[in-house]
Amino acid sequence: MIRENLEKVRENIVKAAKDAGRDPGSVTLIAVSKTKPVSMLQEAYDAGVRDFGENKVQEITEKYPQLPKDIRWHMIGHLQTNKVKYIVDKVTMIHSVDSLKLASEISRQAVKHDTTVDILIEVNVAGEESKFGVSPAQAPELVMQISKLPGIRIRGLMTVAPPVSDPTENKPVFCALSQLLVDIDAKNIDNVSMDCLSMGMSGDYTVAIAEGATLVRVGTSIFGEREYRVDR
Ligand SMILES: *Cc1c(COP(=O)(O)O)cnc(C)c1O
């Protein structure tokens, strides 16, 4: 089933990119595998997936040693400062940086591990109270501050759009993030390359691609619905 699902998602990505006059190769599919067992990730890997997204540090550290080493792990969930040290040498990109405090710890750990970590700034475009991320107004200043830190490289912006019944409702959200990327890029800040836009999930990734997404984070449409245990 995963292979068929992937085929469909890839087809949709190619079509959305072409419809927008974009090169389909400019869009990377991140398979969001949170809560899913290693066997399902292996199945996706065998079907060609190399980019996986997880939102919990513990899941990354558990799955990491059980899967092939050429996987690119993306941390897409809220990250606590005290857990940075467990994943800094395992992830290819951290999508969810929304404070100088978190960025400073990533920088500190990156230097310690003699590596450079690519990060995205998470922006709460729609201003939802329940969401992490900085406001669009705060983003340029935060980029400026983080750009001065060693061991860390800002690559772009990320947003989690609100759940909507009609995906085109999120078009203004994606459009705003895209514009913010252009605005910040125009400032030509040293050590900052604004070339990544992480936006779009199962419900709305084609709309996000139309607005310039370069990284789409798709879980349910590949792996099926998630079951959460009620244990809290
Ligand atoms: C779970 C999650 C996704 C994937 O959501 P689906 O609707 O299952 O595609 C994308 N981004 C983030 C940040 C997530 O937590």
Ligand 1, from 9, 28, 32: best to mutate by most atoms within 8 Å of Cβ? 32
Strand partners, 43: none
Residue type, 107: S
Q: What is the pLDDT of residues 97-149, one digit of tens each?
A: 999 999 999 999 999 999 999 999 999 998 988 889 999 999 999 999 999 99
Q: With a 6 A CB cut-off, is 35 part of the ligand 1 pocket?
A: no
Instruction: Locate all alpha helices (DSSP H) within 64-197, ordered by sequence.
Output: 84-87, 100-112, 139-146, 171-185
Band of the pLDDT at 201, cuts 50, 70, 90?
A: very high
* C-alpha closest to that of 73 among 48, 93, 44: 93
Distance from residue 160's CA to the centre of ligand 1 (Å): 8
Q: Measured from the CA of 158, which atom of ligand 1 is nearest?
A: 13
The string of pLDDT tens digits covering residues 32-76 is: 999 999 999 999 999 999 999 999 999 999 999 999 999 999 999
Q: Which two tokens stand for residue 112?
A: 């310690």
CA 83 remoteness from chain centre: 18
Q: Are 80 and 68 in contact (CB under 8 A)?
A: no
Nearest to 90 by CA among 121, 111, 113: 113
Amino acid type, 177: L
Ligand 1 center to residue 54 CA distance, Å? 9
| Domains defined for the chain, CATH in brackets | 2-223 (3.20.20.10)
Q: Measured on CA atoms in the order 93, 97, 101, 102, is the torsion positive or negative?
A: negative
Residues 171-187 have pLDDT tens digits of 999 999 999 999 999 99
